[in-house]
Structure 1
Amino acid sequence: MSQRTYNQLWTDAQLELGRLLMEELPTEPPRPEKDRVVFFQRLAMLYVRYIQIFRQLEKVYDQVVHPQKRRVIRAILDGVMGRVLELKNEMVEKEFSEYHYMDDVLHDLKLTPVDLEIPIPRYFISDRSKEFQERKTMLTDLLKLVEVTEKEAIKILQVVERARQGRLRAKLNEESRNMNRMYKTKDPGTAAIELATVCIQKVLCYQNNPTCLFLCRCLWLAMDPKYQLPCPAEITAQTSEACTRSKQVEHNEDYQKSVVAVTNQLRDVEGHDMIKTMKDQIRQWFIECRDATGSFPDYPDEEDGGSALIFAEKNPQQVKCSQSQNEPMSFYSEPQEEEAGLKMLPSAFLSDLEVGNKTFVDFWQTRSESRNFNQRHEVELIKEENRKVIEAEIRVQVDEQMRQELAEWKLAVDKDKGGKTKGNKKKGSKSGKKKKKDKDLTADRTLESLCQELVEQGLLKQANNVRLQDYMGDYSYLGTTLRQNDIEPMPSLSDVRQVLSLYAILPLGSQVVHEKAPLIKAILLAGPAGVGKKMLVHAICQETGANLFDLSPLNTAGKYPGKNGLAMMLHMVFKVARLLQPSVIWIEDAEKMFYKKVPKEEKELDPKRLKKDLPKSLKLIKGEDRVLIVGTTKDPLSADIKSLCKMYSKIILIPRPDYGSRYILWKQLIRKHGGDVTRALDVSSLAKISDGYTPGHIVRVIQSVVTKRRILQQANRPLTAAEFVAPLAKIDPVFQEEEEALKNWYAKTPLGKKRIKAATGKEEEEAPVKGKDAKKGKK
């Protein structure tokens, strides 16, 4: 599509955003809603509409090449992402569930489940591709250094093996020469010719004959689906995308150069006039204040904005009043009783969205770009933006000079009056104890040395190349219907994928979103073995370019012994995680850290050694630190649920796949492994008989059936469902008892308890009693 098309798509998204902002920021505050269902419907409607804007803006930002437009779109895109996370957080608090079902909302808006998918912005990787590539190269080089010792041992074995093979080849050659002498005097019959052919084939293949190897390689490449060439349409799309990326880089570089040149020009040409104008205005303000109040005013502090505060006021009297706002008030207005009901929580992103929408309406909406065919930057816009920056720089210098001048004026007036001089009182720092800074245990070490040590110890790893879209699953179509009949539905794999996008990928990918959105420090993925918990951890790293640290109890066993060693290990991991953010700290088998009773066979491993220190390190993660702890567990029942829930603020229960997800898994995974899904293959029957089996089980069965040899036979003998039944029957499924045990365990978590209270109509908890009554209650 052309740039004009994407500009129109941006306009459409902004119009819808403007309508949403009018609904969310009305002139009069809306009355509280007493009906929880009605309030949730409003939240769900806003959530779905914001996701549609999110999808449009992500597409626009990825393809627009105009550098100044991209900056405006990026700010609005981050604001929309943050608002989506805020609405998600509010829906969880109002419905007491991590999963929501909005079939009725989709029906009202005439949307499909695909429209509800959370897009992963491509700028997470593309805008920092160079930085991520350098990190990946560094990690790969460190891993190679660690593997040097192992490779040397393998090299010795290879030399010995080659010598053995050489002796066998020599023996085989001698046997073939003797065979040729034996049949030289005789007429070769049919059997002799076949024998000779087999012998030649053996020799050629055994001696690594290049011709034979080339033919075999071509054969295997033709069989393997991942080596198939893309179709012409895909090649055209990839070429167009590469061209757009190069234009974005080229236009951005030109823009940055122009910003520097224009800024220097403005500073040289207009700087002197700005200084003179500011000083004249401030002196005029001094005189007006003295005429109006009888004395010179105090100069506004730099923290309050300096002289910028002067020009924001209308008259000297208002300035004087504004400076006395910090004084205690002599009267208080009586607090008004709040009306009972549900209200929207305050937003940290709506003001940013309002500013971004105003910028679009005031400047870009009506701007004619008929002459800017190549979508280059506009110099006049740079001048307008940088003029404010230069004014701010100059204002700091002018304020210092004018404070001194004001002090001299006051001194001269006080001398004439014969009074005592009054110096400007500077606001001192608030009394109180200073927070102790954490001691840096590795202040004398470089980042490279820390990374190398963590790689050598196996604590810093390379994430597997998997994407979130590889975690396949269908949408839950009956969720709303089941809840209306007081039946709690099990989430689908599509729901799991969406929740991980919201809680992990979006905050890790954007610094602005992570700082302002509801902070999530730790997530626990709980579910049976094989549902894809480990895959999701690696997908989070791949989608955001995050580093992967492994603090699993079994991985840390025996490393950094003692109390000091444990402190050093955690210090190094969290220090490198912050310096190379975004980062994911993975804890496999998270239940082992909070065992109720440690099994005898695991006592030597000391799985609970991180139980006290890791939560302390978790508290040090702030909004500016894009560091996320992700725990995975298949046996949460063996852990102390109170400690586990205290560590992980978000607990995501991952179930075995439903029929729709199993159908998609069988169909897509068979194709991915090179199989053809024809009419002879009854995928629906496979999905039905595999009830209770996890995606991991399905992958194992497909790998055992769809081999390279079986792929070659498909032309004459297509795949059938019967071939998958026998391998599937050899695997134990997730039994109903195990799934029920997980559901009962989740019902004991804080959110699970709230959900049960809401279902029984007891969600309104009594307010805590204070004072003497509280003590009586405790007794």
Structure 2
Amino acid sequence: MSHVTYNKMWAEAQEGLNNLLQTETEDKSPKPLKDHPIVFQMLATFYVKYVQIFHNLETAYDQIVHPQKRLVIRQVLEGVMGRILELKNEMVELENSEFHYFDDILQDQKLCPEHIEIPIPRYFIKEKLKVLKEREKILAQILVNAGLQDIEPKKHIKVMTFEEAIRIIQISERARQGRLRAEFMKQIYLEEKRERQARLHSGKSPNLDASAVCIQKVWRGYIQMKRTEKIREEEMIFLGMSPPPHFHRISASLMQAQRVEAMRCEVQEKHEEEYKKALVAIKNRLREMEGPDIKESLQEQIRQWFIECRHITGKFPDYPDEEDGGSIVIFSQKTPEQVAAELAAKEEELQKKSKDKGKKGKKEKEKKKKGKEKGKEKQEKKANEEKEGWKMAPSNFLPIMEEGNNWYKDVWQHREEGWNFHQEYDPELVKEEKRKEVKEEIRVQVDELMRQELKNLKLAVDREKDKKKRSGKKDKVSHAGLVIPPAQFLTQKWGYNLLTSRSGTKTRTKSFAVEDYIKNARTIDSLYKELVEGGLLIKPKTVKLSDYVGEYSYLGTTLRQVDIEPMPSLADVRQLIALYGILPLGSQALHEKSPLVKALLLAGPAGVGKKMLVHALCTETGANLFNLSASNIAGKYPGKSGLQMLLNMVFKVAKQLQPSVVWIGNTEKTFYKKVPKAEKEMEPKRLKKNLPKILKSLKAEDRVLIVGTTTRPFDADLRPFCKVYKKIILIPRPDYASRFALWKHIILQNGGSLSKSPTISCLAKMSDGFTQGHIIYAAQTILSERRIRQLNRKPLTAVELMGALARQDPVYKEEEDMFKAWYAKTPLGKARAKALMEESGVQTRACAQCPDVHTVQRENGLQRRHQADEAFQRLADKITAAEQSKAKVYVVLANFQLFFQQKSITTKKIETLGMYVQKKSSKYSEAIFLLKNCQVKVQRDSRQYENP
């Protein structure tokens, strides 16, 4: 695309942003809102619109080549990203849930789910590409020198037992013998057939016409079959039910677009270098040409101020300190009396501060006593705020966006650029910017000269003594008012004065000595090398967040409206990883001002992609990956001092080479309630006491994120676990839409073809309960190199893939319920449950005053009763016709149990019935009797809706 296209995209984004800013800032003192659905709808609408603007600004920033325009876009872009994070935080606090659904808003605004996908800014990697490549070379070299480059095998090799090996050999040998026997019998059969044919045709002469007709018949049938297949395939492609043959190949137009993007990036770098050189050259030119005139005019104005002050006050004024702004105070369009009054007021404030410092010790004791009372007051304030209603929290990013928006309006909105076809830097704008810097530099020099001149004037005219004003080397005033000499007069002996008490005795501790040793005696290079050789700093796999395939949940809002809590989709998980991990780690300004996330927990069954998301975090932000899993640090740096040294090393390197991700795999082991005997030697709880201290030491300027992954979070002690990981992302198994997309992606990725592949919808339905890891394993197992070569003559079938999938254990409902029950005990889960209880209580009180609701409940009760009657009758018929098969009966019961759950027909007798039939499959009369009792129980439960 051209420069005009991206400029237009930028203008549209700025226009949308301007409208949003007007909406957000028009009411400076908004009234509290009590209706939570309306508040959430407002926040969600803002969120969706900001994400759309984010898309346009990110694309414009990546492709616009004008260096000065990119400065404006960058400021607005970071403001928009920060505002998105703030809105997400507001929605989480409002709904007490990490997952939110916008399907109704998308429908209202005619948008697709792709429009609210959080894009990953490409400048996160582009701007430090050279640094990342150098780091990769250093890491690879250290691994080669240490002989660790092949520690991790590329493919997981499954260990086979002796019995399994014997069984495979037996199967292969029996199959070989069977093939030989079948081939031998086939030869005998063909020989007998030839003899019979010879006897039949021995007396007949060969008929060429009959032979030709036979050949023609077979050939024409074959040709017609091929034509029919081709017509059927063309029809399916035309109807959109089958992809074209070359649909998944990269088209020539797409390749051309990629080449143009790469070319624009090269032009962008070239213009950026020219702009940086111009900044220095133009500044030097302005200093040479305009510097003397600026200096002379400033001196004249300051001398005039001296004379005016002496004329009004009768003496020369005190020159403002550089800390107060120097001569800027003089040129701030204030009278000499106002300037003198301000200087006197500042001196009084300094004196008051020095007096107040002595009183701090007494006040601290009083504060400790009042701490508990203040905690109660805060809780009361929160309760009062909830009663009053919801108010938008103050934003750190709205001023940034307003400043960038005003910058765009003032400079770029109506700027004529017909002369700048190549979109190079504008020299006039550079002159305006650098003229201010030159003037500021000259002002500082003039201040030094004029201070000396003022001192000479005072000595000559007023005979005043020189009052020294030490700026950088002033004598400090202690709490008792004594003068303390400057720091350079104190001893320079390392560590002595810092580590001695007032009586002169040393109070140095071992941990503090370890910190000093690492901070002062060790270089980052040596620490980096030691961590790599110890396996604590590892190379992340190159995985993008977009490779985590998953579809959007289209029924989230609908399900919540009928009081059903939907399971989050994989697209929702992908969004949270981008919001809580990638965006803050990628931008320093964003990390410092946005809601701070220090630790993130990824919990879910095995195979849902937790480790993949950790590696995607590092790939998208260029972060270092540290592995502090219990199994990885077992036996390394033993003892308390060793552990302290390990943590100091890791977090010093992590902070110096930020962004960094500290990964703790199987993090539930660190918070075990009781350590199993088999794992006691590993000491899994080594980090339990240190993790809270580490989190406190992480500040907003440290782009370090602790990420824990767990497959069994319910084994951990919940209270300290949730104290460390305040952001918890529960990753479910994939739903139908995600499995459908995943099968397509995996088959194509492993060399398969969708045009001749099995029905994807069938695979997605049959693989319910299996995770992404199971699906990938099945596809990689079946689609070997040999099988890929056979695809043209032997298409892939669903039976092959499901056979490989059936050899693995799915995620059972019991395990999924355990995860749900555990999440309900977390602080956010409890808050969500409490909010739902309160909301249902309000609805119940409203229903008591509304007769229409009784009618609805009565109709629902009757409908559920009829559904239960029909379902139980069908179940009884199927049990009696199950042909005395225990397995079939149990499958029927399981299917109907699922039906009852979906229809909200809850009863424990169905479980009793299932267990009874499983144990005593012969007594079907008793099973049907229990079934009838269960039916009566459900009818009794449903009657309460008929007469509420």
TM-score (norm 1): 0.82
1:604 is paired with a residue of what secondary structure? coil
Instruction: Tell me the distance in 2 between the aligned counterparts of 1:682 and 1:401.
Output: 85
Contact 1:757–1:763 under 8 Å retained in 2: no
Q: In structure 1, what is the equivalent of residue 790 of structure 2?
A: 713
Instruction: Report the residue type matching 1:391 in the other structure.
Output: K
**What CA deviation, in whole Å up to 9, does each residue of 1:353-398 have, x standing for no partner?**
1111111111111111111111111111111111122222223333
Q: 1:467 to 1:306 in 2, by over 3 A?
A: same
Q: Which deviations, in whole Å up to 9, do the C-alpha atoms of 1:522-545 show, x marking residues without a partner?
A: 111111111100000000111111
In structure 2, stretches of 5+ residues that fail to align are 152-244, 353-383, 481-496, 500-511, 842-948
Judged with a 3 Å threshold, the aligned counterparts in structure 2 of structure 1 residues 760 and 314 are, in CA distance, closer, same or farther, namely: farther
Q: CA deviation at 1:299?
A: 4.0
2:258 alignment partner, SS class:
helix
Question: Helix, strand or coil: the match of 1:472?
Answer: coil
**What is the alpha-carbon distance in structure 2 between the residues aligned to residue 32 and residue 429 of structure 1?**
49
Which residue does the alignment assign to 1:3?
3
Q: Give CA deviations for 1:657-689 in whole Å, capped at 9, x if unaligned.
A: 111111111111111111112366121122122
Q: Could you tell me how far 1:443 is from its partner in structure 2?
A: 2.5
1:390 aligns with 2:432: no
Unaligned runs of 5+ in 1: 152-224, 331-336, 765-779
2:422 matched residue in structure 1:
374
Task: Give the whole-Å Cα distance in 1 for the aligned partners of 2:517 and 2:274.
Answer: 41
Corresponding position of 2:275: 255
Aligned to 2:34: 34
Deviation per residue, 1:596-619 (Å, 9 max, x gap): 111101100001111122332222
Q: Which residue of 1 aligns with 2:71?
A: 71
After TM superposition, give the deviation of residue 324 of structure 1 in Å. Answer: 6.4
Q: Percent identity?
A: 56
Residue identity matched to 1:395: R
Q: Specify the alignment match of 2:100 in structure 1.
A: 100
Distance 1:647 1:479, change over 3 A: same
**What residue number does 2:403 align with?**
355
- Partners in 1 of 2:388 and 2:340 — Cα distance? 40
Give the distance between the partners of 1:68 and 1:238, measured in 2 at CA: 24
Cα distance in 2, alignment partners of residues 489 and 321 from structure 1: 66
2:91 matches 1:43: no
**Equivalent position to 1:651, from 728, 733, 757:** 728
Counterpart of 1:68 in structure 2: which amino acid? Q
Distance 1:319 1:27, change over 3 A: farther
Provide the residue aligned with 1:15 in structure 2.
15
Tell me the residue number matched to 1:124: 124
Task: Render the CA deviation track for 1:617-653: whole Å, top value 9, x for unaligned.
Answer: 2222222221111110111111111111111221111
In the other structure, the counterpart of 1:476 is 553
Whether the 8 Å contact between 1:526 and 1:633 is mirrored in structure 2 is yes
Structure 1 Cα separation of the partners of residues 700 and 18 of structure 2: 29
* Residues 255, 149 of structure 1: alpha-carbon distance in 2 compared, 3 angstrom cutoff: closer
Spell out, residue by residue over 1:700-729, the C-alpha distance to the aligned partner (whole angstroms, 9 max, x if none).
111122222222222122222222222222
Question: Per-residue CA shift, 1:217-238, capped at 9, x if unaligned?
Answer: xxxxxxxx9xx98542333123
Q: RMSD between aligned alpha carbons?
A: 2.9
Q: How does 1:62-211 map to 2 (within 5 A)?
A: 62-147=62-147
Match of 1:561 in 2: 638
- 2:749 aligned with 1:672: yes
Amino acid at match of 2:46: L
**Maintained 8 Å contact 2:143/2:149:** no
AA partner of residue 405 (structure 2): N
Tell me the distance in 1 between the aligned counterparts of 2:423 and 2:820. Answer: 55
Q: Corresponding residue for 1:209?
A: none
Larger displacement relative to structure 2 (511-520 or 394-403):
394-403
3-state secondary structure, aligned to 2:290: helix
Partner of 1:741: 818
User: 2:327 matched to 1:279?
Assistant: no
Which residue number in structure 1 is paired with residue 568 of structure 2? 491
Q: Which segment drifts farther, 78-87 or 300-309? A: 300-309
Aligned to 1:521: 598
Taking the aligned partners of 1:27 and 1:595, their CA distance within structure 2 comes to 51
Alpha-carbon distance in 2 for matches of 1:347, 1:522: 23
Cross-structure match for 1:512 = 589
Instruction: Return the structure number with greater relative CO, CA threshold 8 A, min gap 6.
Output: 1
Q: How many residues are treated as equivalent by the alignment? A: 680
CA displacement at 1:38 relative to structure 2: 1.4
Please give the alpha-carbon distance, in whole angstroms, between the structure 1 residues aligned to 2:3 and 2:408: 17
Q: Contact 1:65 / 1:244 at 8 angstroms: preserved in 2?
A: yes
| 1:547 and 1:577 in contact (8 A); partners too | yes
Return the alpha-carbon distance in structure 2 between the equivalents of residues 441 and 604 of structure 1. Answer: 28
2:263 maps to which of 243, 248, 266:
243
Superposition deviation, residue 469 in structure 1: 0.4
* Contact preservation (8 Å) 1:509, 1:544: yes
Amino acid across the alignment from 2:414: T
Give the 3 Å change call, closer, same or farther, for CA 620–680 of structure 1 in structure 2. Answer: closer
Question: Equivalent of 1:267, from 276, 287, 301?
Answer: 287
Kept after mapping to 1: 8 A contact 2:315/2:462: no
Q: Shift of the alpha carbon at 1:304?
A: 3.5
The answer for the alignment partner of 1:193 in structure 2 is: none
Does the aligned pair in 1 maintain the 2:622–2:659 contact within 8 Å? yes
Cα deviation 1:321-340 (Å, max 9, x = unaligned): 55566668x9xxxxxx9993
CA contact (8 A) 1:468 1:543 kept: yes
Please identify, of 712-721 and 14-23, the stretch whose mean Cα deviation from structure 2 is larger.
712-721
Structure 2: distance between partners of 1:525 and 1:413 = 76
What letter corresponds to residue 331 of structure 2 in structure 1?
Answer: F
1:686 pairs, out of 755, 763, 768, with 763
> Which residue of structure 1 aligns with residue 487 of structure 2?
none
Structure 2 matches for 1:256-335, cutoff 5 A? 256-290=276-310, 297-320=317-340, 322-323=342-343
- Residues 451-493 of structure 1 deviation map (CA, whole Å, 9 limit, x = unaligned): 2111110011111111100000000111111111222211100
Q: In terms of mean alpha carbon deviation, does 378-387 or 293-302 score higher?
A: 293-302
CA distance in 2, matches of 1:289, 1:51: 56
2:389 to 341, 355, 378: 341
- Out of 302-311 and 228-237, give the one that drifted further: 228-237
* Counterparts in 2 of 1:390 and 1:430: CA distance versus 1, 3 Å: farther
Post-superposition offset of 1:431 = 6.9
Larger Rg: 2
1:702 aligns to 2:779 (yes or no)? yes
Q: 1:601 aligns with which of 678, 690, 703?
A: 678
User: Does the 8 Å contact 1:686/1:721 carry over to 2?
Assistant: yes
